[in-house]
Amino acid sequence: MSPNTLSRGENLERLRAGTTWDVVVVGGGATGLGAAVDAAARGYKTLVLESLDFAHGTSSRSTKLVHGGVRYLAQGNIPLVREALHERGLLTRNAPHLVHPRDFIVPAYRYWQIPFYGVGLWLYDRLAGRLSLGRSRWLSRKDVLKRTPTIRGEGLRGGILYIDGQFDDARLAVALARTAVGLGASALNHVAVIGLVKELGRIVGVRARDAETGEEFAIRAKAVVNATGVYADAVRRLDQPDASALLAPSQGAHIVLDRSFLPGDTAIMIPKTDDGRVLFAIPWHHRTLIGTTDVPLSQTPREPGPLAEELAFLLEHAGRHLTRTPTAADVKSQFAGLRPLINSEVGRGGQTKKLSREHAVVVSDSGLITVTGGKWTTYRVMACDAVDHAAEVGALARKPCATENLHLHGWTDHLADREETLAIYGSELADLKELIARSPEAGRKLHAALPYVEVEVIWGVRHEAARTIEDVLARRTRALFLDARACIEVAPRVAEIMAAELGEDQAWQDRQVADFRALAATYLPPAGDAIPTRPTRGHPS
């Protein structure tokens, strides 16, 4: 077994053995896994616990961009943009199998927009410094239409091309988990923290429950890091029931369309929608991803979904800028993620799109370290900050952050062509191909409408802690985000493969299929839903 394998059995045994950990991280999303990597890289004995699956929530539901944030530049937040662009550059170096440059076009429908956007993106380039992915440049109307032939041409004057980063968010989370394990950490999904352990008013550990068996554990720790994203306040209230809200969460929705809506390799960025947000149309896994929205929330559901008005908004705005106006029937999949926005303007009438994406680290009187806010691109900075605080709280030997140039699991300097189905596995590509060579049936496609093959299910169970159909189809592969209908059809076959690997029976398969199909149905607009859309002629903006 690879030393980076996420072995559930071995990690549960470490809990049963009563190990005292230097750092216990609660939450297996971008920030929590990043903190586990950082702590383990410093030599701290580290455990990360996730109640559902790694990247189950916000961290698998992003716009799939590793970027500085063009809209933060427009807001004048130069330090945040500079930091994020630096981190974008590091990620393209440390995980090149998962993070890569993507060309974007900002279309101009007024002549003044060309110099206006051009100056802003020139500054964006300069802020990236030596880690720039390439220079922006002006494009003629003809050049824009050549690169993005389905963009609405009426009134188009030209555009600005710039380069940003794109990635596979859930796959990067898995890479972080396996990197942490390779550095000596333990990482467990489907193990929920249900309480905090205190002695003399100080936190000295957590209580956890295995979701599969119900087994409970009392886990000792010198420092506990709360990295649960939008659920950070709920964990804070396990420590202090009357803790005031740190977050003002909002929801961002996306839809996925057929690639024919945006053929080619160039994305489109619309700098201002009706609600003042940036809108993206992006090629992703041979589909077209459209997003995003911004809706303030008072609740933080475990399975958020796009609201009817969000779906209508995305369809309409896509129709304004593309030659084909999509309808609800064209949606292959829809999904929503919750943003852990820092509560800086609550009570002052501020809209969530104006709240800070910068992160916060808060240490309670009893020693609970909460890190939240931020975005995927800056996960490493957040992790470093959190672990610095953990070292202080836990009286650990002070060691510097060691992740800036740390290659993440799967790193290789022999990158496969991105058209290669298994390229996202990086250095493990040859291992998967060897499995297929030994068992040719493992090379069969899961479904004609999906790019994935059966070996990925096997690999996900054996090495990546996949425990459910959802784990495989939503996060080890991205099938649920690409085509929910196809996933509903293929679920029984995935259950069959997993059952053979896990030693489960037919009853387990039946429960898994039923649960997954109920979930997958929420990734589709309601049947017969007549979402109002109206093609907008003339100038889209």
- Region 47-76: mean pLDDT is 94
Question: 312: which 2 tokens?
Answer: 């209508």
Q: Which has the closest alpha carbon to 4: 277, 158, 186?
A: 186
pLDDT for residue 48 is more than 50: yes
Write down the mean pLDDT value for the chain. 93
What pLDDT does residue 77 have?
86
What pLDDT does residue 356 have?
52
Terminal Cα-to-Cα distance of the chain (whole angstroms): 55
Q: Which has the closest alpha carbon to 278: 168, 132, 100, 121?
A: 121
Question: 61: which 2 tokens?
Answer: 């539901």
pLDDT in tens, 384-407: 999 999 999 999 999 999 999 999
CA distance 56 to 33: 12
CA distance 267 to 258: 14
CA distance 144 to 484: 32
pLDDT in tens, 120-134: 999 999 999 999 999
Return the HEC string of 458-500: HHHHHHCCCCCHHHHHHHHCCHHHHCHHHHHHHHHHHHHHHHH
pLDDT for residue 85 is more than 90: yes
What pLDDT does residue 257 have?
98
- Region 441-454: mean pLDDT is 97
Instruction: Report strand pairing: 216-226 vs 202-210.
Output: antiparallel
CA distance 223 to 391: 8
Q: Alpha helix (H) ranges present in 346-404?
A: 379-393
3-class secondary-structure state, position 104 = strand
Quickly state the pLDDT bin for 256 (edges 50, 70, 90): very high
CA distance 463 to 203: 33
Q: Which CATH number fits domain 423-521: 1.10.3210.10, 1.10.8.870, 3.40.30.10, 3.20.10.10?
A: 1.10.8.870
CATH level 2 (architecture), domain 8-58+171-246+351-393: 3-Layer(bba) Sandwich (3.50)
CA distance 504 to 282: 39
What pLDDT does residue 52 have?
98
Percent of the chain scoring above 70 in pLDDT: 94
CA distance 203 to 239: 8
pTM: 0.95
pLDDT in tens, 319-374: 999 999 999 999 999 999 999 998 864 333 334 444 455 899 999 999 999 999 99
Quickly state the pLDDT bin for 1 (edges 50, 70, 90): low
Q: Which has the closest alpha carbon to 373: 80, 73, 63?
A: 80
Q: Which has the closest alpha carbon to 251: 304, 291, 303?
A: 304
Phi/psi region, residue 367 (left: phi>0; alpha: psi -120 to 50; beta: rest), is left
Question: 300: which 2 tokens?
Answer: 């933080």
- Region 222-238: mean pLDDT is 97
The Cα-based distances of 430 to 1, 334, 439 in angstroms read 16, 33, 14
Quickly state the pLDDT bin for 111 (edges 50, 70, 90): very high
The Cα-based distances of 525 to 254, 262, 332, 491 in angstroms read 12, 21, 9, 19
Domain positions in the chain: 8-58+171-246+351-393, 83-167+248-339, 423-521
CATH H superfamily, domain 83-167+248-339? D-Amino Acid Oxidase, subunit A, domain 2 (3.30.9.10)
pLDDT for residue 76 is more than 80: yes
What pLDDT does residue 349 have?
37
CA distance 403 to 386: 13
pLDDT in tens, 259-317: 999 999 999 999 988 777 889 999 999 999 999 999 999 899 999 999 999 999 999 99
- Region 237-265: mean pLDDT is 96
CA distance 376 to 385: 15
pLDDT in tens, 468-508: 999 999 999 999 999 999 999 999 999 999 999 999 999 99
What pLDDT does residue 115 have?
95
Instruction: Report strand pairing: 267-270 vs 99-108.
Output: parallel
What pLDDT does residue 97 have?
97
